[in-house]
Structure 1
Amino acid sequence: MALGGNPVFNGKTFRSATRGNQPAGTGTVTYAGDSTASRQQLEHLYNQPSAGPAQMGRMTFDDVIVKTLLCIGVVLLGAAVPAFVLPGLALPLMVVGALGGFVLGLVNAFKREPSPALILAYAALEGLFVGGITTVLEARFPGIAVQAVLGTLVVFGVTLALFKSGKVRATPKAMKFFMIAIISYAVFSLVNLGLMIFGVTEGMFGLRSTGIPGTEGMLGFAEGIPFGLVIGLLAIGLAAFSLIVDFTSISEGVRHGAPQRYSWTAAFGLTVTLIWLYVEILRLIAIIRGSE
């Protein structure tokens, strides 16, 4: 099974996960003689309930859920700063959050061991970015924040349901197409950003804001179907499949007994994907509403 997402989830990690993580009383009992005390101790040990994954220092679904909720909570706190505390500085805070989040995202992605402090710092910076871009777009398109949040929850719920049903899996073949598509999308995004910075393209979202030639009047768009509409739907699909990759990594980690500290890595991966999904849905709604 190709796991993608979290590189720490591999066979070597799983095989070594249970070593050095067993609590006292679960090892081999050695005693001398047939004394009453030693027999009583042995019976006591046998009558104890089996140690669960949490007691043995292994990752559990509960750990991942709690840490993911903590990360999302920090994102929301960060987003509240430009949205409610300093709305006049929404744009600069968005830039600071985007640059800082990008740097810490790379640091966390390439660290061999997860760092809770750096992961939460990443969540806070991404919160500034998310809050900033939401505030800017909300001023132009009232109600867009609620629409984007609902859209994100719907996509997340549907993706989780499909994963649990077994109908969608991160198979090796699917991962190949996913990697090709996501690299292509990343290249397009960088080129589009460069064109926007140097003023080559017009519109709020660069090439995404331009209409596709020959589609004038289709689907209700007077100037043609926005190119960003097609790219946005593709990006949302990629983000949804990235959730499948995250779910697969988490399931494999729990099944193989990955060390408990890697639940932070799983939470980081889910946070990254959910932020990406939200931003793509937010941008897609802005493109659609801007063409009305």
Structure 2
Amino acid sequence: MKTTNPVLSRLGQAAERERAAGSAGYGQPYPSAAGGYPAAPPAVQPMTIDDVVVKTVILLGIVGVSAAAAWNLVPDALLGAAWIGAAIVGLVLGLIISFSRVANPALVIAYAVVEGAFVGLVSKTFESFYDGIVLQAVVATFGVFFLMAVLYRARVIRATPKFARGLIAVMAGLFAVMLVNFVLSLFGFNTGLRDGGALGIGFSLICIVVASLSFILSFNEVEEGVRLGLPQRYSWTAAFGILVSLIWLYLEVLRLISYFQGDD
């Protein structure tokens, strides 16, 4: 089995080793719970697209509950400190999950809880200035998501190796710029990237386009994972990738809409 994604290739090889180990042990005496005939060796269940869909819905539900809880429970005086703390913890968890070679559902769920709190606090702040903006951003985000799903399904946009390399490079560059901009803002420097001016609007539009295209990579990883026969637990990792893109897209859409409703 070959794939253009080296990470998926390694995971696919690991899955084959697990299946081979299970097959080699077949016929050997495994203790049964009832103490009767030996039980068959445990089979490695491959993930399916349905598994990823279910896990994604579960994670979105967790994000929604966590966001609602943070919105209603965190005092207004602590909003700023709380969302900065949630953002830092979410970033750390996201990096651990992204660079880990083992699927960890507990970490993915923890990420959804923390990011839900972050999204809820940021949404509450924007909603306090612009009434109805959260609903508009949610509708726009899922509208873009379903549009990208249709375009991918129709193969209008393909996740070729060149496309993947280019998009990953652009994403890394954007995150580096946002991190530097955030650090500078802590020291009182304003670069204009997050203002309502032409530069801020242009930067948000670029982020929205890139976040939208990142769904193509996520959809392709799901298909490749299913084709490679990755174990079922990796459906959590695939759902995590989709969730990250959804949250990023939502936050950028939220900010862009605010630019056209008044001063930020």
With the length of structure 1 as denominator, give the TM-score of the two structures: 0.76
Change (3 A) 1:156 1:210: closer
Match of 2:66 among 68, 78, 88: 78
Q: Distance in 1 between matches of 2:133 and 2:224?
A: 37
Aligned to 1:110: 99
Asked if 1:286 corresponds to 2:251, the answer is no
Deviations 1:140-167 (A, max 9, x none): 0010100100010110010000000011
Q: Distance in 2 between matches of 1:135 and 1:261?
A: 34
Change (3 A) 1:104 1:13: closer
Aligned to 1:17: 15
Match of 1:273 among 233, 241, 245: 245
**SS at the partner of 1:249?**
helix
Higher gyration radius (CA)? 1
Q: Distance in 2 between matches of 1:28 and 1:196?
A: 61
Q: Distance in 1 between matches of 2:60 and 2:13?
A: 31
Aligned to 1:160: 149
Aligned to 1:255: 227
Aligned to 2:35: none
Contact (CA 8 Å) 1:82, 1:135: kept in 2 or not?
no
Contact (CA 8 Å) 1:195, 1:201: kept in 2 or not?
yes
Amino acid at match of 1:264: W
Work out the percentage of aligned pairs sharing the same amino acid.
40
**SS at the partner of 1:207?**
coil
Contact (CA 8 Å) 2:193, 2:203: kept in 1 or not?
no
Q: CA deviation at 1:208?
A: 2.7
Q: Distance in 1 between matches of 2:247 and 2:213?
A: 14
Q: CA deviation at 1:87?
A: 4.7
Aligned to 2:115: 126
Aligned to 1:181: 170
Consecutive unaligned residues of structure 1, counting only runs of 5 or more, are 30-54, 212-225
Q: Distance in 2 between matches of 1:146 and 1:87?
A: 22
Q: CA deviation at 1:210?
A: 5.6
Asked if 1:242 corresponds to 2:214, the answer is yes
Q: Distance in 2 between matches of 1:161 and 1:168?
A: 10
Contact (CA 8 Å) 1:81, 1:87: kept in 2 or not?
no
What is the root-mean-square deviation in Å for CA atoms of aligned residues?
2.6
Contact (CA 8 Å) 1:2, 1:170: kept in 2 or not?
no
Aligned to 1:32: none
Change (3 A) 1:19 1:210: closer
Asked if 1:61 corresponds to 2:60, the answer is no
Asked if 1:230 corresponds to 2:202, the answer is yes
Q: Distance in 2 between matches of 1:78 and 1:28?
A: 44
**SS at the partner of 2:249?**
helix
Q: CA deviation at 1:83?
A: 1.5
Q: CA deviation at 1:112?
A: 1.5
Change (3 A) 1:273 1:128: same
Amino acid at match of 2:60: I
Q: CA deviation at 1:260?
A: 1.1
Q: Distance in 2 between matches of 1:102 and 1:15?
A: 29
Instruction: Count residues in correspondence.
Output: 246
Contact (CA 8 Å) 1:82, 1:93: kept in 2 or not?
no
Q: Distance in 2 between matches of 1:187 and 1:176?
A: 17
Deviations 1:205-245 (A, max 9, x none): x433163xxxxxxxxxxxxxx21111111101111111100
Consecutive unaligned residues of structure 2, counting only runs of 5 or more, are 28-42
Deviations 1:103-128 (A, max 9, x none): 11111112111111111111100011
**SS at the partner of 1:289?**
coil
**SS at the partner of 2:159?**
coil
Amino acid at match of 2:50: D
